[in-house]
């Protein structure tokens, strides 16, 4: 199995508790996601973020906004 470059994006959140809440929101919205450590190239801080398929970014962003959950941004990885 080969991983396609730039297939994924990460959603950066304010805290671990926000990431856990976002994970539940995205599951309910039907957006596949995975909780992962924040990639080093994005931040040297410890923390977690959510990885989603790039094609699901817009849906994920809408679901989080509707739930009132603020993000720090979405980055392609």
Q: What is the CATH number of the domain that holds 17?
A: 3.30.70.260
pTM of the model: 0.85
Is position 2 within any domain? Answer: no
Is position 22 within any domain? Answer: yes
Say whether pLDDT at 40 is over 70. Answer: yes
Residue 6 CB contacts under 8 Å (≥ 6 apart), including other chains: 54, 76, 77
Residue 4 burial (CB count, 10 A) = 7
pLDDT the model gives residue 44: 54
The whole domain housing 60 covers: 8-76
Least confident stretch, 3-7, 20-24, 39-43, 53-57: 3-7
Is position 38 within any domain? Answer: yes
pLDDT the model gives residue 39: 86
Would you say 75 and 6 are in contact if contact means Cβ atoms under 8 Å apart? no
The total domain count for the chain is 1
Say whether pLDDT at 2 is over 60. Answer: no
Is position 3 within any domain? Answer: no
pLDDT-based confidence at 1, cuts 50/70/90?
A: very low
Is position 1 within any domain? Answer: no
Parallel, antiparallel, or unpaired for β 8-13 and 48-53?
Answer: antiparallel
């Amino acid at each position: 199995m080969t991983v396609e470059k730039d297939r994924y994006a990460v959603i950066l959140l304010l805290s671990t508790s926000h990431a856990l809440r976002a994970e539940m929101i995205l599951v309910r919205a039907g957006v596949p996601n995975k909780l992962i450590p924040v990639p080093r190239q994005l931040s040297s801080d410890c923390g977690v973020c959510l990885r989603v398929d790039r094609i699901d970014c817009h849906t994920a962003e809408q679901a989080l906004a509707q739930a009132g959950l603020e993000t720090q941004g979405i980055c392609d990885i």
